[in-house]
Amino acid sequence: LALAQLFAAGANAAALAAAARAIGVGLPREPNTVSGTDPRALWIAPGQWLLVGVDAGSIKLAEPGLDLIDRSDGLVSLTVCGDNAADLLSRGVPLDLHPSVTGAARVARTVMGSIDIVLEVLTPGRDYRILVERSLTHAAWVWLADAASAYKSVATPVVETPRRERPADATKFAT
């Protein structure tokens, strides 16, 4: 999974528009929103976006105030899906994940238990992507497995590793 992070400290609107053209996706301005499909831009903080499906090494940004870094090796993506996914996550994520509150194309920096994560809503109430620092992947996996033990049918979690290390037989963490 190609991941990049765009920092725009003090960049003006013209610089942000040029960056969006170079990256191939509009940059959402509203907090905690997502734009695009492939690639996708996730607003994670003022002047900061996670870019999913963007190879930072292939993009050159010449505008002042913009920095694009590769996060593919630093973050791991876990997918939680199924009818009980929101309930499972609510055991440790302090957000209201009910579809009437947290709709599609939403993202938040939050915690899962005591683990810092970025949580992206793929399908409200059903499908979620968790981005976690690589060093915390095991803790996130254990937390998810423990929380999922309350449900009768659970499959093996999906771990999307960098393009160079992706396992061929990954399946989703289903509830």
From the list 91, 173, 90, the residue with the least C-alpha distance to 137 is 173
> pLDDT at position 168, please?
42
What per-residue confidence (pLDDT) applies to 155? Answer: 46
| Bridge partner residues of 129 (DSSP) | 79, 120
Residues 132 and 75: beta-carbon distance below 8 Å: yes
* Per-residue pLDDT at 172: 54
Average pLDDT of adjacent 10-residue blocks, the chain of 175 residues:
92 92 95 95 96 94 91 92 90 93 93 97 94 95 88 56 45 50
Query: In whole angstroms, what is the distance from residue 23 CA to residue 42 CA?
Result: 13
Cα distance between residue 35 and residue 76, in whole Å: 20
Query: Distance (Å, rounded) from C-alpha 123 to C-alpha 175?
Result: 14
Which pLDDT score is estimated for 1?
84
Burial of residue 36, with CB atoms counted within 10 A of its CB: 0-12 exposed, 13-18 middle, 19 or more buried? buried
Give the CA distances from residue 117 to residues 2, 133, 135, 139, 160, in Å, rounded to whole numbers and listed in that order.
17, 8, 12, 11, 15
Helices vs strands, H then E, count in the chain: 3, 11
